[in-house]
Chains A and B, each alone.
Chain A
Amino acid sequence: DAKTTQPNSMESNEEEPVHLPCNHSTISGTDYIHWYRQLPSQGPEYVIHGLTSNVNNRMASLAIAEDRKSSTLILHRATLRDAAVYYCIPAQGGSEKLVFGKGTKLTVNP
């Protein structure tokens, strides 16, 4: 499993953009980059995933570096409900398990 490095914590203000970085320098060529988030006392929630190209969905955008050794999850306008622990997880497309690192705890200030 590729190792990941994420900041332990980040803070943002409500309605401002948030950029959550993740380093995954040992990622293999077939690993997808998954992002999940976990609100307190809940199971994780899928956010977004990508392989090489940048990806957008209704929740967030994922910017993947050209060498794929890092990626950034972008929340365009943070809300209080976005306060959670965000996990970046490289995983092979055919692999069936997700291995969670420590993640980044995002605090959103009103």
Chain B
Amino acid sequence: GAVVSQHPSWVICKSGTSVKIECRSLDFQATTMFWYRQFPKQSLMLMATSNEGSKATYEQGVEKDKFLINHASLTLSTLTVTSAHPEDSSFYICSADARQGGYGYTFGSGTRLTVV
């Protein structure tokens, strides 16, 4: 139980285009989901907390207009990287709170974004 599915697993896009990453909780409902970014050989950096039915809470230094988060249902949160640039190339990981089921915070398998 407590599986989080993240899609796509990798994507290549051109500079200036937008990319949407989906994060789904498959067998539980997730009121709260989290989005992280990880650069090579670095730790995960929390970008924002996504709450179902309300606006996301962004961490300091994360541009909310560039990284659009939508959490319209209890099983789906999306992260859209708008007007992507090469410096946005990174590994993006979502997470959902599955503690009620005793599974801790459950993470997706990540999305490798490459902007060319």
Chain A interface (Cβ within 8 Å of chain B)?
Answer: 34, 36, 38, 41-46, 49, 87, 96-103
Contact = CB atoms under 8 A, between A and B. Distances in A.
Interface string B79-116: 00000000000010111010000011111111010000
A37 B59 CA distance: 23
Contacts of A98: 34, 46, 95, 105
Nearest to B4: A43
Which 8 A-B pairs have CB atoms at the shortest separation, nearest pair first?
A43-B107, A46-B104, A100-B44, A100-B43, A43-B93, A44-B107, A43-B110, A43-B108
Contact of A99 (B6, B46, B97): B46
Contacts, number: 51
A42 B112 CA distance: 10
Main secondary structure of the interface of A (DSSP, over half): loop
Interface centre among A38, A41, A43, A98 (most CB of B within 10 A): A43
A102 B45 CA distance: 10
B46 A44 contact: no
A31 to B, nearest CB: 14
A87 B112 CA distance: 21
Contacts of A44: 44, 93, 95, 107
Contacts of A41: 91, 110, 112
